[in-house]
Amino acid sequence: MRISTSIASYIIVILPFFLNSICYSQNSQEVIAVPIENKEGSVDVIVGSIQEILNDAEEAKKIGDYKTAEACYKAVIEYSPQNARLHVDLANLYRFGLGLFEQAIKEYKIAESLSGDNKKGIGFCQEMEGQIYLNDLHIPKEAVSEFEKSLDSNLENINNIPLLFNLAVALNKVDRGEEAENYLKKIIELNPESDFAYVSRGQLLTNSGDYEGAINALIKAKQITSNKELTVIADSAIDIIKNIRKENTTQ
């Protein structure tokens, strides 16, 4: 990482514009200067070519210096705002590094709008937005909307097991259990060894009152899984379902 606080020509230009990166041309080679506030409160400056700044962002992420990585990405985006991949990289940083979920969604949506006729790219962004709504913001209704848009944008996603599974989970949370079960059936069709799909199906069938079907799904999950924790969960769920079934038959 190239850091300089002593190059007067850079400092004079950058300090008045602390929140913005400055691009300039030197010998026909575009260079970006990125201001970074250090722990002491003064300003350091990273200077380099586009690729060097992107390399610095990756290096900063590896050591957990997410604010520096953010500044680097923003600097390159200012120079190349129409690059969808850069917005995806920044969105990933906001989501996984900084935990800024609303800002992550904003960047994914920008990338989505810049993807043109790249259906895979559009579908990917929508899937990521759905994951944030489901797992981070806990707004399943919005998650369902984004996952369904992802399926519509990229027809190949009908075979995307993680997407289908997340959609099934979100649908179940908004009381659309029958649709959720259909997607779980699709997952099992695509991958008969999907233990989590069988466990989730067991939950859905329990909610709908099909206790026998739920128990069978959980037994199947136990048979195919190598996950000890999942086996414990399945055993516990089977015991609970049997007790529920017993209580219902004695009433």
Distance CA 61, CA 67 (A): 9
Distance CA 207, CA 178 (A): 10
Residue 217 falls within a domain, yes or no? yes
Angle separating helix axes 84-92 and 101-113, nearest 10 degrees: 170
Domain that holds residue 50: 1-79
Residue 21 falls within a domain, yes or no? yes
Residue 34 falls within a domain, yes or no? yes
pLDDT value of residue 33: 81
Residue 246 falls within a domain, yes or no? yes
Q: In what order do the strands lie in the sheet with 29-37?
A: 3-4, 43-48, 29-37, 22-26
pLDDT value of residue 25: 33
Per-residue pLDDT tens for 42-62? Answer: 778 888 888 889 999 999 999
Q: Is a pLDDT exceeding 70 seen at residue 12?
A: no
- pTM of the full structure: 0.76
How much is the mean pLDDT over the chain? 84
Per-residue pLDDT tens for 116-126? Answer: 999 999 999 99
Burial 159-185 (b: 16+ CB within 10 A, else e): ebbebbbbbbbbbbbeebbeebbebbe
pLDDT value of residue 23: 37
Pick the range with the lowest mean pLDDT from 24-38, 138-152, 156-170, 222-236. Answer: 24-38
179: pLDDT confidence band, cut at 50, 70 and 90?
A: very high
pLDDT value of residue 42: 76
Q: Is a pLDDT exceeding 70 seen at residue 21?
A: no
132: pLDDT confidence band, cut at 50, 70 and 90?
A: very high
251: pLDDT confidence band, cut at 50, 70 and 90?
A: low
Distance CA 62, CA 55 (A): 11
If one counts the domains in the chain, the total is 2
Distance CA 190, CA 194 (A): 9
More confident residue, 22 or 247: 247
Residue 106 falls within a domain, yes or no? no
Residue 91 falls within a domain, yes or no? no
Residue 61 falls within a domain, yes or no? yes
Pick the range with the lowest mean pLDDT from 25-34, 37-46, 94-103. Answer: 25-34
Percent of the chain beyond pLDDT 70? 88
Select from 43, 62, 79 the last residue of a domain: 79
Residue with tokens 């850069």: 86
Select from 58, 79, 100 the last residue of a domain: 79
**Per-residue tokens: 92:** 């990933």
Select from 79, 101, 130 the last residue of a domain: 79
**Mean pLDDT, rounded, for 145-161:** 92
Residue 161 falls within a domain, yes or no? no
pLDDT value of residue 116: 93
Q: Which residues contact 154 (CB under 8 A, 6 or more apart)?
A: 119, 120, 122, 123, 124
